[in-house]
Amino acid sequence: MEHAIWTEKYRPTRFSEMVGQTEIVRRVKALVEQKNLPHLLFSGPAGIGKTTLALIVAHELFGEHWRQNFLELNASDERGIDVVRSKVKDFARTKAIGNVPHKILYLDECDALTREAQQALRRTMETFTHATRFILSCNHSSKIIDPIQSRCAVFRFKPLAEKDIDAIIERISKEEGLHIDKDAKEALFIASEGDVRRLENILQSCAALHKKITKETILEHASFADPKSVREILEAALKGRFEDARKQLLDVMLNYGLSGIDMIKQMQKEVLGLPVDNRGKMEIMKMCGEVEFRLSEGSDDYLQLEAFLAQVALVGSK
């Protein structure tokens, strides 16, 4: 089953079907019921329901005519000023079809728009507000210019909680005939980090091979190391067993197919649980940040991680 089919199959079409973001859904639903929608700005990480909520708004407002009155554009595909002057303006200036007050233009990943395009967009939003409402979606609202933010009602989304992820897992496992044990559910929540798209991708990869999904299956397909193994690497380094820690690090990275950035991010999550005083934890956390920056700039994965383990060993020796 292709990913697109899974995505459409499990995408809600009503407010009552939306899992997570309860307070945001309640506020947006009230605006839709009044049929007096302002411009909206959805901000938050990927895969947590921003596009889904925009589609639900279109379904609720326009019913069977939602496709004619709803246009979705991805700003990361065409991010220059021309897309605002042509596609956006052409759609925004025309009248809605049916007995509805306005159309909706959904602009996804609008933080990828250049500043010139955003300046053109702010004027378009103001000029054609009588015919079209804009729903803007971004990962980082700080990249959206202030004049656009001031024209919108801002909603800040957050990653889904464990109970919400569990509800989605239960629904998928029931409809697809999967058996997912408790440890596997916990591993899915950790690996997905509240991102439903990532959750579906992992589940789909696992379900292609086995109907019975275990923790080991999840970790194998998610390119996510067992947190226990990561903790053991750090504890070995703290105790001065540098060579053992280095060997375990290489084994884990090769077995799970992890990049250096994946590994350092997992290590960072385990730092607070280490048997070391607060000063030692702060020093290790500071080193995590430095290593992550160096890796993002193109440094060698293994060299940086081995240097990090050496620093952890020195903290342990104090």
- pLDDT one digit per residue (tens) for the chain, 318 residues: 445 555 666 677 788 888 888 899 999 999 888 888 899 999 998 888 898 899 999 888 888 878 888 888 876 666 556 666 667 777 777 777 777 778 888 988 888 888 888 888 888 888 888 888 889 999 988 889 999 999 999 999 998 888 888 988 888 888 888 888 888 888 888 888 888 888 888 888 888 888 888 888 888 788 788 888 999 999 999 998 999 999 999 998 888 888 889 899 999 989 988 888 899 999 999 999 999 999 999 889 999 999 999 999 998 887
Using the 3D structure, point to which of 156, 173, 193 is the last residue of a domain: 156
CATH of the domain at 13: 3.40.50.300
Question: Which helix or strand (DSSP H or E) is residue 24 part of?
Answer: helix 22-33
Q: Does residue 167 share a domain with residue 144?
A: no
Q: Does residue 113 share a domain with residue 77?
A: yes
111 vs 88: CA distance, rounded Å: 16
Split into its structural domains, the chain has a count of: 3
216 vs 226: CA distance, rounded Å: 9
Q: Does residue 146 share a domain with residue 46?
A: yes
Give the 3-state secondary structure of residue 213: strand
Taking each helix axis from N to C end, the angle separating 22-33 and 50-62, rounded to the nearest 10 degrees, works out to: 20
Query: Which domain range does residue 248 map to?
Result: 227-317
Question: Which helix or strand (DSSP H or E) is residue 136 part of?
Answer: strand 132-138
Q: Does residue 87 share a domain with residue 64?
A: yes
Q: Contact at 8 Å (CB) between 168 and 19?
A: yes
What is the predicted pLDDT for the residue at 84? 65
Q: Does residue 213 share a domain with residue 232?
A: no
Q: Does residue 118 share a domain with residue 39?
A: yes
Q: Does residue 214 share a domain with residue 254?
A: no
Beta bridge partners of 180: 213
What is the predicted pLDDT for the residue at 27? 92
Q: Report if pTM > 0.95.
A: no
Using the 3D structure, point to which of 130, 156, 182 is the last residue of a domain: 156
What is the predicted pLDDT for the residue at 176? 86
Q: Does residue 105 share a domain with residue 129?
A: yes
Q: Does residue 196 share a domain with residue 84?
A: no
CATH of the domain at 211: 1.10.8.60
Q: Does residue 133 share a domain with residue 197?
A: no
Q: Does residue 120 share a domain with residue 10?
A: yes
Residue with tokens 């656009």: 148
What is the predicted pLDDT for the residue at 1? 43
